[in-house]
Amino acid sequence: MTIHRLQNPPRGLRIDGMSGAAQQRVPFASTVISREAQQAAQRVLASGWVTTGRETAQFEQEFATYVQARHAVAVSSCTAAIELALRALGLPPQSRVLVPTLTFCGAAEAIIHAGLRPALVDVDPRTGMPSPATVALAARTCGQPAAMIVLHFAGAPAPLAELAEAAGLPLSRVVEDAAHALGTFVDDRRVGALSGATCFSFYATKNLPVGEGGMVTTDDEKIAAWIHRARLHGMSADAWRRNTPDGDWEYTVEEAGLKANMTDVQAAIGRAQLHHLYGWQRRREAIAAQYDDALRQVPGLLLPARPAQGRHAWHLYVVRVQDEFEMSRDELIKRLAERRIGTSVHFIPLHHMEYFQHATITPPGGLPGADELFPQLLSLPMHPGLGEESVDRVCAELTRLAPARRAPASHPVRPGLSGRPERHTGLRTLVAGAGEAGQALARDLLGAPGFGLVPVGFVDDDPAKRGTAGLPVLGSLDDTAQVTLAHRVEEVVVAIPGLSPERFRQVTRAAEVSGAGVRYLPSFIAALRRDVVGSDMRSLDVQRLIGRTEIHVVSPEARSIIAGKRVLVTGAGGSIGSELCRQVRGFEPSRLFLLDHDESNLHRLQLELYGDALRDDDIVISDIRDRARIDQVFGELRPQVVFHAAAHKHLPLLERHPCEGVKSNVLGTENLIRAALATEAERFILISTDKAADPVSVLGATKRLAELTVQANAGSPTKLAAVRFGNVLGSRGSLLSVLAEQLASGGPVTVTHRDVERFFMTVEEAVGLVLEAGRMAASGEVFVLDMGDPVKIVDIVHRFARSLNMPDPQIRFTSLRQGEKLKETLFSEQEDCTRTSHPRIFAASQASCPALAQLRQRLPDLYAAAEHNDPAGTRQVLAGLLPSFPSSPATAPRALTEPYPDGF
């Protein structure tokens, strides 16, 4: 096991004809210990309290929030978690507990240590997990079970409800072994609160590596309380609480427990690591997709199934080495080891081990599924620090060792309409219409994974079409909202060319209310069948471009702040504002007011939203810098929810014209906030940028002052908040649109610096963040989406060209411009990143801010300098308000001769 710091992940080397001995080792597993985790451990060690204490209690609370469970109890290991969970059920001694034979030996030992009897369950060779049939057989032949352990093998979702029904048990008697499953979803619910108790592992190689440790989560208060006592000798009071000012030295022991507590050192590491979990999970998904693409045609390798329902956590990537490979699994392990590639086997079946042959109950007839599967199992390298080059090298060696013929491999996944295996790496897509157009669309999507849409089924009003498609018909058009929620649909494509406008609006509204995006024929199918270039940005595979999958941020609960309310969107005609209007409209506001100073964009947007442009009462032509006009608009319309997207945001232009940036981004924001407070609006959400964190550009400085204006007015009846965006892919003037133009022209691609890197998000993610921020807003928070790791621009260029099947482009480096950073950050050095109720959204918190105290006093000076069109004076005042901002330009601004993407 290799241990790496987060900032220096292991990277493989390309093969390039080198001998195996000369190649860098590709470890099977690698522990990532983040810098924050190291600092957290040092903090606890310096405190002098290193056993169970406040850090443990805080970790429990944060982990319960993450997995959406009511209770979490931190323990010493997942094995201890399973034993404690079983003992908490209060089962009679020697009761039978079903457990898969393909599992870690500690699970069976936990049953035995709890005074119970393991009854082995066979597995389905296709999944490595028990099926309802094998569970029912074990329950029938081994004696009625009192409980069951369900393992989410490798991180794949196990069908909990079906297995419990087959065992004749309620879910309250099911204990989940989730050692592999942090981040797994069963259907649309996160593993953590689906059964009686769920047991997680934080071993050094797990998805959340802490070193040692485990966690039990449950919704049952009695189970949580019992485990809380039993983990520390059964004592009724935690030792650390007895040392608090109001603590009591007295305790009692009513039932024998274990010494199985977690220490504060472990908990502090776990809390810090939890912040990185989302990015690590997205990296695991990307590695799995890379393996899928490269190994799909290797004969004799059977790849792991993608779950039809739910989400795979990809703790392990387990292949089956079949006879067609013409080499045994053990021989293949040896050959890969000679090439310095680490692998492993998960697991040796329990009934193959001498002790368990006597200590467990085996169904008559044995366990043939596990016997068939075990000699084929092989786990490939899988950890977040695994670079693309290392994955390529593993795949190249497997391909080279495979037999020469290249017959298509068989895959244990459901085929799509085209007969190809269906993959679940893109957005889950529902096709409205199961006729010829819908089925043609589904076939094209299945054949073009680069578009990033994965069909999961249809909705259609014609009963005759039910069951005629390779994908299921999941309901009628009237069922769109329910189907979208039940199947975690992220995108709906309307594929009924003759659908009436009113019916079309009903379907799109139902999809949007459920949090899904909407596309429609014929324009979408036309885009699908031509090369992706220019404006077809949202058809790209985001995962391949930025190294993570697109996040479905917005929740159905966001509807509660919009439904029946008067909503105003500023900058409505822009790319962000217009997408925001589309999604807001789906939540059925009583009125949706579109405010912009560009009447052409407003007219276009109204046509898109309503099919006509006669709704003049909902269009507001106004400049946010005109305070009297803004006061008039708010006084007449009295919006209850305001989303503020209007801004000047072109970084190099604002360096040349700082006064205009102040007028729009600072004064305009203050005008809107004043009007919102005066008319008692319920919510006000500002759209900001990551460049506001320790700003060095006019764009960043003016947006930071806009954030401070929001915070200065916190505590009023109006709930205010801000959101920081990264670079938004697909927005007008964004990186991809400029790259598409440059690639289409055949000229070199211009990039400022070879090491420049940025955080990226899609338009849909950006709008989802705004809507969720509206729901969570309370007192001037600044919310930030977890966008994973920053990405180098040069990597985006190369990946984008490959996605268009174009040769690697020539890149010309133009050097950083005034106001640009080499690397962006999401939080300033004075800010802390804190968790919110949403697992993928964080908040920037700051104990004190001198600029906030000076804000009202100094803003008039800033406005005066801007009003007099005094760039130097404007910069001087900005520097006085924001210490990180330079009072004078580092270099003289150059002519903008190159195409320059907005915010790049």
Say whether pLDDT at 572 is over 70.
yes
Residue 411 CB-half CA count within 13 A: 21
Q: What is the pLDDT of residues 315-324, one digit of tens each?
A: 999 999 999 9
Under a CB-based contact definition with an 8 Å cutoff, are residues 179 and 105 in contact?
no
The pLDDT assigned to 756 comes to 85
Q: Which residues contact 331 (CB under 8 A, 6 or more apart)?
A: none
Q: What is the mean pLDDT of the chain?
A: 83
pTM above 0.75, yes or no: no
Say whether pLDDT at 481 is over 60.
yes
Under a CB-based contact definition with an 8 Å cutoff, are residues 214 and 231 in contact?
no
The pLDDT assigned to 730 comes to 58
Q: How far is CA 134 from the centre of its chain?
A: 34
Element holding 705 (H helix, E strand): helix 698-712
Q: Highest mean pLDDT range out of 363-372, 398-407, 772-781, 821-830?
A: 363-372
pLDDT band for position 616 (50/70/90)? low
DSSP 754-779: TT-EE-EEEHHHHHHHHHHHHHH-SS
Q: How far is CA 101 from the centre of its chain?
A: 33
pLDDT band for position 680 (50/70/90)? very high
DSSP 456-476: EEEE-S-GGGTT-SSS-B---
Query: pLDDT over 90 for what percent of the chain?
Result: 46
The pLDDT assigned to 466 comes to 61
Q: What is the pLDDT of residues 358-376, one digit of tens each?
A: 999 999 989 999 999 999 9
Q: Quick one: which of 613, 616, 620 has its CA closest to 637? A: 620
pLDDT band for position 253 (50/70/90)? confident
Say whether pLDDT at 37 is over 70.
yes
Is 691 noted as a catalytic residue in this protein? yes
Q: Which of 275-279, 304-308, 761-765 has the lowest mean pLDDT?
A: 761-765
Say whether pLDDT at 420 is over 80.
no
CA distance 80 to 76: 7
Q: What is the pLDDT of residues 705-736, one digit of tens each?
A: 999 999 988 888 999 999 998 888 755 555 76
**For 813-828, what is the HEC assignment?**
ECCCCCCCCCECCCCC
Average pLDDT value for residue range 27-39: 90
CA distance 752 to 107: 54
Q: Quick one: which of 107, 134, 99 has its CA closest to 368? A: 134
The pLDDT assigned to 7 comes to 34
CA distance 863 to 861: 5
The DSSP call for residue 477 is G
Backbone angles phi, psi at 379, to 5 degrees: -95, 125
Which of residues 629 and 550 earns the better pLDDT score?
629
The pLDDT assigned to 206 comes to 96
Q: Tell the residue number behind the tokens 């989730």, with chain if given.
A: 178
The pLDDT assigned to 341 comes to 95
Q: Which value, to the nearest 10 degrees, does the dihedral of the CA atoms of residues 459, 462, 463, 468 take?
A: -70
pLDDT band for position 419 (50/70/90)? very low
Q: Quick one: which of 598, 515, 509, 597 has its CA closest to 554? A: 515
The DSSP call for residue 662 is I
Beta bridge partners of 376: none
pLDDT band for position 413 (50/70/90)? very low
**CA end-to-end span of the chain, whole Å?**
39
Across 597-624, b (16+ Cβ under 10 Å) vs e yields: beeebbeebbeebeeeeeeeebbbeebb
Q: What is the pLDDT of residues 498-509, one digit of tens each?
A: 677 678 778 877
- Rg (C-alpha) for the chain, rounded Å, is 29
Average pLDDT value for residue range 845-864: 73
The pLDDT assigned to 543 comes to 58
The pLDDT assigned to 804 comes to 63
CA distance 516 to 788: 22
Q: 565, 649, 663, 691: which one is catalytic?
A: 691
The pLDDT assigned to 853 comes to 60
- C-alpha to C-alpha distances, 697 to 652, 661, 664, 688, 871, nearest whole angstrom: 9, 11, 15, 14, 13
pLDDT band for position 173 (50/70/90)? very high
- C-alpha to C-alpha distances, 796 to 124, 737, 803, 808, nearest whole angstrom: 41, 12, 10, 11
Query: pLDDT over 70 for what percent of the chain?
Result: 82
pLDDT band for position 533 (50/70/90)? very low
Q: Which residues contact 854 (CB under 8 A, 6 or more apart)?
A: 880, 881
Average pLDDT value for residue range 755-767: 81
The pLDDT assigned to 240 comes to 59
